[in-house]
Amino acid sequence: MTPEASLPLEHFIQAVQRQLDNAQTAMAVKARSFNLPLTFAIKDITMDLRAHVEFARSEIRIRPAGPSDKDASVFHLVFTAITRPMIEENAIAFESDPQDEIRDELTDDERKKLEWSGVRTRSQLRELAERGGERQLERITGLPVDRLRKALEHSATPMIHDVSPAEPPSGEPADLPARLRLRGRNLMRNGPPHVTIGGEPVSVLSADAQELVIAPQAHQLAGELRVSTSPDLSGSTTFDLRPLWTAARAAAPPEERR
């Protein structure tokens, strides 16, 4: 690499990891071809890397020292092999619902700033805002309050991903009363949401943040479905499930029954 080139620290770590994986594989293959009864696995590895540290584009980057660099920093890196259960145990902390990831509401640069302060998901962003307030969030993340406010609003907006018929309770006719299951996110906030179809209210039978079950009337099996969790937070979608209910067909105007 040229002395000017720099790379994110995590890319360096990944490059080390690839070499360690390759070494493990190559060791097993070579031990077999040299007829050694045993193979060896890397337990610990420690290395010193001389490099300059930069903070650019909202990320830590390193620039490996050139031959004449006398004032470079020294990274003393210690790696140790861990077992699969340990990997899985540590991975839990990084697992997140893809729907919860912060995406469109912030630019790449803003997202990196948030990640740098440990915020990767919408729920983490909300939690931090609720705990410390917007000013505290601004101080920690380095993002302006208005951008954070926008991201928070976007992150709390109800989103409907799927509308489908819910199974009727046993013993009830399969077609009436109609029950619809809505799947999405932010579907409940501080209490059951207000749900309308075509502007008319609909009964909510059960609610949580990811799923609602509603009981629309026969004429409400198509149209614009809106879920509001507060006066300024609502999401909508359009749907048409009329062909699935005979009652809906019966209720429809004669020209739509065919």
Nearer to another protein, 16 or 215 (CB): 16
Sign of CA dihedral 124, 127, 131, 136: positive
Binding to another protein in span 35-94, by CB under 8 A: 36-50, 64-69, 74
Residues 31-48 as b or e (16 or more Cβ within 10 Å = b): eeeeeeeeeeeeeeeeee
Please tell me whether residue 6 adopts helix, strand or coil conformation: coil
**Which pair of tokens denotes residue 28?**
């097993």
- Tell me how far the alpha carbon of residue 222 is from its chain's centroid: 31
Q: Which is nearer to another protein, 23 or 247 (CB)?
A: 23
Enclosing H/E stretch for 11 = helix 9-33
Query: 10 Å Cβ neighbour count for 115?
Result: 14
Segment contacting another protein by CB under 8 A, of 14-22, 82-90, 158-166, 198-206? 14-22
Q: Which is nearer to another protein, 25 or 203 (CB)?
A: 25
Taking CB under 8 A as the criterion, which residues in 109-128 touch another protein? none
Does position 27 interact with another protein (CB under 8 A)? The reply is yes
Closest CA to 107 of 134, 144, 78: 144
Q: Which is nearer to another protein, 33 or 170 (CB)?
A: 33
- Is the CB of 41 or the CB of 93 nearer to another protein? 41
Binding site for another protein (CB under 8 A): 1, 5, 7, 11-12, 14-16, 18-20, 22-23, 26-28, 30-32, 34, 36-50, 64-69, 74
